[in-house]
Chain A
Amino acid sequence: MLRKKSTFIAAAAVVASVFASPVLAQTYPNKTIRLLVPYAAGGGTDAIARVVAQGITAQLGQQVVVENNGSAGGNLATQQAAKSDPDGYTMLMANQGPMVVNPHLFKNVKIDPLTAFDPVTLIAEAPLVVVVPENSHITSVKQLVEEAAKAPGKMTYGSAGNGSASHLATLLLAETANLDMVHAPYKGAGPAITDLLGGRLDFMVTTIPSVFGFIDSGKLKPLAVTTSHRTKRLPDLPTIAESGWPNYQAAAWYGFAVPKGTPPEIIKTLRDATVAAINSPEVVPRLAIEGAEPVGNTPEEFAAFMKQESARWAEVIKKAGIGLD
């Protein structure tokens, strides 16, 4: 951060850490762990982070403190985490936006999240849902696509912001089905949903908790979910893949990562605690509210997953020409 160590100190620190690390691993964790969340407090990601943090606290017997910083699309928190000491006392809530989307979207991302971090585990995946207003005559994704194809540049959709999961999932649909639609970005899903409810937008792809209340009360009609399989939260809802685009698949995902160079024993401790936490009876139902299902894979699997996601979204962003400066 603001510290600038001379080479001497750096060398001293390396020497010190070599001697210190076995001791460190044995007693880890012996102080509060910081979990940086690259989203504002109160959102879906924050909710998942807090629930899981509590679970890990119970597992490790050390407090896991959530620190939110949603500035600059989460890039600030990501940078801050990358620059922290790789001692297992700083974790990053690693998800889609900051890890695999922003580097292709923003020019001023100063780090490569895929190399600056050691992945711990993928916590959960949550589907997004395609919704239309109550009085829309559209009843299926197939019909939505047909109507959009008939009148290029006419159909409008809202999103939680440029480059948000909601925007990208719609872009992917537009690309898969070769559609030309008008994108209206908002500051967060809330105001976009207001305009959708008021019938000023044709449709929207968004997270399940943001619209579940409206689906439940009939104010919005769900058409499909974006994941490759159906969700337990809305079991009757088909997937987009089922609806005729078998290759379509998009999800919001949440994982943990630690700064590069964290000792493997510590990563293992963290991963085991996380996996135990996300499968505990306290956490599972909370995740289910988000429509999220626990994953808990190995660091290697998570790394491969992120690499694949990064390549995929890079292409979508490039094709759509939405790269930002």
Chain B
Amino acid sequence: MIKPMHAIQIFVIVGLITLVGNWVGMDQINPIDAAMGMLILLVLVFIGWWLSQALPINLPPIVFVSILGILATTPWTPGSAWILSHTGNISFLATTTPVLAFAGISIGKDLDKFMELGWRIIVVALVVFTGTFLGSAVIAQVMLRLTGQI
């Protein structure tokens, strides 16, 4: 179990790293301009994380955090335009970089096992992409027929 104080500490540190990436990266947004947007995201993150720990339902924090993010920004949410004007200063790509840096470092210890995936994972990936596309196309076709659209 992680204490709330430690969770906040980690969220803030990763938030700061993200702000630096957001600054030196493609969009070059000054951290001072982006600070409020990050603060909003961190509040959503902390509430969502806390809910996943406090509620008796066993769901991962990402479910709560994503729902909070959606609810905070629907057109019917009071103040959503203000929230979006600030979160818009954080680029989505900038939020992905530190996470994958942690992931890379952590995979480092299993690099041998990772390399063993080799060419076989490429074959699986191609079948994955094909399956996603064809599966959706078949169901869409059937549904459009059933609902009389085509």
A joins B in a complex:
no
Binding site for B on A (CB under 8 A): none
Binding site for A on B (CB under 8 A): none
